[in-house]
Every structure is written in structure tokens, then in C-alpha cells.
């Protein structure tokens, strides 16, 4: 069996301070190599956890990128694994509602991979 290439869209919540509402999310699209869709999803989730990080902002406060969910997974042709190919940061009116939507998309994706 040959390995296939997938693009995976991962969503991260950008938390400015502990306990404060999330006002931004970042979407990253990564390349994942796997034998099948369910394996690609698991690899994308593991990479999401690895990419969580805390950084200092320009004002000296900490920002934390928290992995939320894999929300899309598409099979591609032959490419190189693990390269970020797109990124998007969005301002949100209702962070909790938006994060709940991303959780829903991720759960739907998981259900389709394992059924």
C-alpha cells in the first residue's frame, strides 16, 4: 500500500491572558503523509499538540497558541510532509461560539474517518 498526501486545516485559539476570553483564532494548513484518512487525522492532531506554544507579545505579556481541532482533511498528490502551506488569523465577535463550531467540524471529520 502506498502512502498518500493530505492537507489538514488545524485551528488554534490565541489566548492573551489566562482566564480572558479568546478573541483570535489561527488556522494552519499542513501537509500530512499517511496510508489512510484516519491515520492522517491522527497525525494532524498530534502535530497540532506539538505546535501549541507560548510566546511573549510586544507588550511583554504572554500569548498562548492552544490547539483546538483539525477541521478539514483533503487528499492531495505527492508533496513534502509537515510544511505549513497557509495560515489565517481572524478577529471574532463571539469566541466561544466560534470555538464550539470548530469543535463540531473536528468531531464531524473524526466521525467520517472512522466510519
pLDDT, one tens digit per residue, over 17-28 is 766 766 788 889
pLDDT tens by residue, 67-91: 999 999 988 866 667 766 666 676 6
**pLDDT surpassing 90 at residue 109:** no
pTM, full prediction: 0.72
Decide: helix, strand or coil at residue 94.
coil
- Rounded-to-integer distance, Cα 38 and Cα 30, Å: 16
Query: What Cα–Cα distance (Å) separates residue 98 from each residue in 1, 32, 80, 111?
Result: 38, 25, 31, 20
Give residue limits of the domains in the chain.
4-114
Output the pLDDT for position 19. Answer: 64
Amino acid at each position: 500500500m502506498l502512502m498518500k498526501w493530505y492537507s489538514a486545516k488545524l485551528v488554534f485559539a490565541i489566548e492573551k491572558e489566562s482566564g480572558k476570553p479568546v478573541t483570535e483564532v489561527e488556522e494552519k494548513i499542513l501537509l500530512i503523509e499517511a496510508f489512510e484518512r484516519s491515520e492522517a487525522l491522527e497525525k494532524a492532531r498530534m502535530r497540532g499538540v506539538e505546535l501549541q506554544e507560548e510566546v511573549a507579545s510586544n507588550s511583554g505579556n504572554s500569548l498562548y497558541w492552544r490547539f483546538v481541532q483539525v477541521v478539514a482533511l483533503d487528499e492531495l498528490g505527492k508533496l513534502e510532509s509537515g510544511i505549513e502551506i497557509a495560515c489565517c488569523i481572524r478577529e471574532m465577535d463571539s469566541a466561544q461560539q466560534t470555538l464550539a463550531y470548530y469543535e463540531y467540524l473536528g468531531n464531524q471529520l473524526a466521525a467520517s474517518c472512522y466510519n
